[in-house]
């Protein structure tokens, strides 16, 4: 099968069409490139992936350094209407003391010592009276009984004489006067005997009338002795309570009053066991859920050359008002806080012992 032959374009027209087609392609490519550049300039950049916020794992609070045993304020007793003054101060700041050691003596101590001596003298006097009463109770009854026996013998003799003289008078051997004299002697002895017997009966009744059959005089003397001993006990207690002694072994941290001064509201001195120190951090109640026992604690302050360390030991159960205040005048001073106590490490203890009540910054965790 034969195909028809198409007419061939002349060479000049062929080159013209090639140039036109190539130019069109170049224009199209340039338009596409320009559109791509324009889209990159106009369209917003792709959004970056949001950064994941890391949770805050530490808790920061203000706090103070103090002994684990807490501080003991030693004050003068207020038993009388007037406030006593210090007669002697036997310790000074920085001294180590033992439990029960005498720290100070008040000016009313001599009067209390005199009261003890007077009460002791009353006890000795009461003991002497009791001894005399006991001696009288034994010897008085015995001597009275002997007197009764003697009068009974005298009565028998007088009765015999009176009967004999009555017989002699009847026979006319003696006068009526002699007979009457013998009868008078008998009557006198009989009356004395009756009186002696009555006195003996009273003594015997008194010796068995007291508690448990004790002589009344002895019982009264015994009660007087007991009262005197009770007064002595009260005098000794008042004297001993007035002596200012250390309730615990520790170190004198502060002295508030000296000899000749009347102790004020602060007391006489402050005592603490600085061998075992702790930090008391006032943690905001909103931060409390992130505080756990055993967490590490870091303590800093301008007064410390290097940070101190410890671990959370006790978390308070009572919400308090903040007592450790920031020096920033714009800071909130009415925050609600919970006290968190953290014992210090042995190395930090040695440093903290010199900084009781120092205000510090505490970082708890993570």
CATH assignment at residue 296: 2.40.30
Write down which residue in 185, 217, 240 finishes a domain: 240
**Cα–Cα distance measured from residue 299 to residue 363, given in angstroms and rounded to the nearest whole number:** 7
Q: What is the pLDDT of residue 115?
A: 94
- Which of 19-23, 115-119, 138-142, 297-301 is the least confident region? 19-23
Average pLDDT over residues 165-176: 88
Residues 308 and 216 in one domain: no
**Cα–Cα distance measured from residue 298 to residue 309, given in angstroms and rounded to the nearest whole number:** 5
Residue 63 predicted with pLDDT over 70: yes
Average pLDDT over residues 207-220: 66
Q: What is the pLDDT of residue 208?
A: 63
β-sheet with 72-74: strand ranges across: 72-74, 269-272, 250-255, 96-97
- Which of 32-36, 69-73, 180-184, 274-278 is the least confident region? 32-36
Q: Is residue 44 part of a domain?
A: no
Q: What is the pLDDT of residue 324?
A: 60
Residues 225 and 312 in one domain: no
Q: Residue 52 gets which letter from DSSP?
A: P
Residue 5 predicted with pLDDT over 60: no
Domain carrying residue 166 = 111-240
Residue 38 predicted with pLDDT over 60: no
**Cα–Cα distance measured from residue 340 to residue 312, given in angstroms and rounded to the nearest whole number:** 7
- Angle value at C-alpha 95, between 242 and 340, nearest 5 degrees: 90
Residue 14 predicted with pLDDT over 70: no
**Cα–Cα distance measured from residue 109 to residue 320, given in angstroms and rounded to the nearest whole number:** 41
Residue 295 predicted with pLDDT over 80: yes
Residues 211 and 278 in one domain: no
Q: Residue 293 gets which letter from DSSP?
A: T
- Total tally of structural domains belonging to the chain: 2
More confident residue, 160 or 13: 160
Residue 9 predicted with pLDDT over 70: no
Q: Is residue 317 part of a domain?
A: yes
Residue 328 predicted with pLDDT over 70: no
């Amino acid at each position: 099968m034969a195909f028809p032959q198409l007419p061939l374009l002349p060479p000049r027209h062929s080159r013209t069409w090639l140039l036109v087609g190539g130019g069109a392609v170049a224009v199209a490519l340039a338009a596409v490139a320009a559109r791509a550049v324009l889209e990159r300039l106009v369209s917003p950049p792709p959004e970056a992936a949001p950064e994941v916020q890391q949770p805050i794992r530490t808790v920061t609070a203000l706090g103070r350094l103090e002994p684990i045993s807490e501080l003991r304020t030693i004050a003068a007793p207020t038993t009388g209407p007037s406030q006593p003054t210090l007669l002697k101060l036997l310790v000074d700041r920085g001294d180590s003391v033992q439990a029960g050691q005498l720290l100070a003596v008040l000016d009313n101590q001599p009067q209390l010592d005199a009261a003890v001596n007077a009460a002791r003298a009353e006890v000795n006097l009461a003991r002497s009276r009791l001894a005399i009463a006991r001696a009288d109770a034994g010897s008085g009854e015995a001597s009275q009984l002997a007197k009764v026996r003697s009068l009974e013998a005298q009565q028998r003799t007088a009765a015999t004489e009176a009967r004999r003289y009555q017989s002699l008078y009847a026979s006319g051997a003696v006068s009526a006067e002699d007979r009457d004299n013998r009868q008078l002697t008998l009557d006198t002895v009989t009356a004395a005997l009756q009186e002696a017997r009555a006195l003996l009966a009273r003594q015997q009744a008194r010796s068995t009338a007291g508690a448990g059959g004790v002589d009344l005089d002895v019982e009264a003397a015994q009660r007087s002795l007991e009262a005197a001993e009770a007064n002595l006990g009260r005098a000794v207690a008042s004297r001993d309570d007035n002596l200012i002694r250390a309730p615990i072994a520790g170190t004198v941290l502060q002295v508030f009053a000296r000899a000749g001064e009347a102790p004020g509201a602060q007391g006489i001195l402050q005592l603490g066991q600085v061998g075992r120190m702790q930090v008391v951090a006032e943690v905001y109640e909103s931060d409390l859920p992130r505080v756990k026992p055993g967490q590490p604690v870091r303590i800093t302050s301008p007064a410390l050359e290097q940070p101190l360390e410890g671990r959370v030991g006790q978390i308070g159960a009572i919400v308090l008002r903040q007592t450790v205040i920031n020096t920033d005048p714009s800071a909130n001073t009415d925050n609600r806080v919970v006290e968190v106590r953290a014992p210090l490490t042995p190395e930090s203890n040695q440093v903290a012992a010199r900084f009781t009540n120092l205000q510090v910054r505490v970082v708890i965790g993570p």
